[in-house]
């Protein structure tokens, strides 16, 4: 099948993901002493090492173990998990960098919200929950040992029980429907909005605007 992965491809993906996730684990050390972050940060930071250990152990067992038909059937799923972990490791590092770049609880929360908005509104607990769900399904014996399986299950349960790290954004949205002819203008931001329907328009603070049409000009001449 075209989507099947080879042993070498899977091992390479696992090693890359292990490297990236180890960097994410190191990055989370910067937030250990920050007390004003949402609870999700401390819980997730506690469980990040088990993901890194899982990736590393799977890589070692695949590299050194026997290539049985049972193991070969898991190659594609393991590869997909490795790619997911690699991507989420980058996401986590961006989140950790955002909240450590400023001082103060309010400023950190705003930085976190901006980072989440830039990541398709994915909160840190949601990203980790999806990752752990995949890891629990894929990282099974003999790819990993029983103890690691139990640690992954515990991590998944604790992350699933977390309260949202951000409240829902309740800002209203404006919907404009123009069922008639002509132009419909909407200004939803800050500052001035200038419109000209024809003739000459001079804009700026304290400026006078002159809007004229050919019909008006003709009337002025007569």
CATH number, domain at 11? 1.20.1410
- Total domains in the fold of the chain: 1
Of 63, 83, 62, the closest CA to residue 71 belongs to 62
**Is residue 142 included in any domain, yes or no?**
yes
**Is residue 1 included in any domain, yes or no?**
no
Say what the pTM is: 0.73
**Is residue 217 included in any domain, yes or no?**
no
Q: What is the pLDDT of residues 134-154, one digit of tens each?
A: 999 999 999 999 999 999 999
Domain with 148 in it: 7-160
Numbers of helices and strands, H then E, in the chain: 8, 0
**Is residue 167 included in any domain, yes or no?**
no
Q: How far apart are CA 71 and CA 75, in angstroms?
A: 7
**Is residue 21 included in any domain, yes or no?**
yes
Q: What is the pLDDT of residues 27-84, one digit of tens each?
A: 988 888 898 999 999 999 999 999 999 999 999 999 999 999 999 999 999 999 999 9
Q: How far apart are CA 110 and CA 146, in angstroms?
A: 41
DSSP state of 166: S
**Is residue 45 included in any domain, yes or no?**
yes
**Is residue 192 included in any domain, yes or no?**
no
Q: Which pLDDT belongs to residue 222?
A: 46
């Amino acid at each position: 099948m075209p989507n099947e992965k080879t042993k070498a491809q899977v091992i390479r993906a696992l090693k890359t993901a292990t490297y990236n996730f180890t960097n994410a684990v190191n990055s989370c050390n910067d937030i250990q002493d920050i007390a004003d972050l949402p609870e999700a940060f401390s819980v997730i930071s506690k469980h990040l090492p088990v993901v890194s250990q899982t990736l590393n152990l799977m890589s070692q067992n695949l590299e050194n173990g026997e290539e049985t038909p049972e193991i070969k059937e898991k190659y594609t799923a393991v590869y997909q998990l490795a790619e997911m972990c690699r991507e989420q490791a980058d996401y986590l590092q961006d989140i950790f960098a955002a909240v450590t770049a400023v001082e103060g609880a309010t400023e950190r929360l705003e930085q976190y919200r901006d980072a989440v908005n830039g990541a398709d509104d994915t909160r840190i607990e949601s990203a980790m929950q999806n990752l752990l769900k995949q890891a629990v399904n894929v990282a099974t014996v003999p790819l990993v040992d029983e103890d690691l399986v139990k640690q992954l299950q515990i991590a998944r349960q604790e992350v699933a029980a977390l309260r949202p790290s951000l409240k829902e954004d309740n800002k209203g949205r404006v919907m404009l429907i123009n069922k008639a002819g002509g132009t419909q203008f909407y200004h939803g931001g800050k500052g001035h909005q200038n419109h000209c329907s024809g003739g000459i328009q001079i804009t700026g603070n304290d400026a006078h605007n002159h809007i004229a049409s050919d019909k008006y000009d003709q009337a002025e001449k007569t």
